Amino acid sequence: ETGVTQTPRHLVMGMTNKKSLKCEQHLGHNAMYWYKQSAKKPLELMFVYNFKEQTENNSVPSRFSPECPNSSHLFLHLHTLQPEDSALYLCASSQDPLAGHYEQYFGPGTRLTVT
Residue numbers at the binding site for another protein (CB under 8 A): 1, 4, 31, 33, 42-43, 45, 48, 50, 55-56, 88, 90-92, 94, 97-98, 100-109, 111
Identity at 2, one-letter amino acid code: T
**Smallest distance, another protein to C-beta of residue 37, A:** 9
Cβ distance to another protein smaller for residue 50 or 74? 50
Tell me the chain's radius of gyration from C-alpha atoms.
13
Q: Taking the mean position of all CA atoms in its chain, how far away is CA 100?
A: 21
CB of 66 to another protein, least distance (A): 14
CA atoms of 82 and 32, how far apart (whole Å)? 25
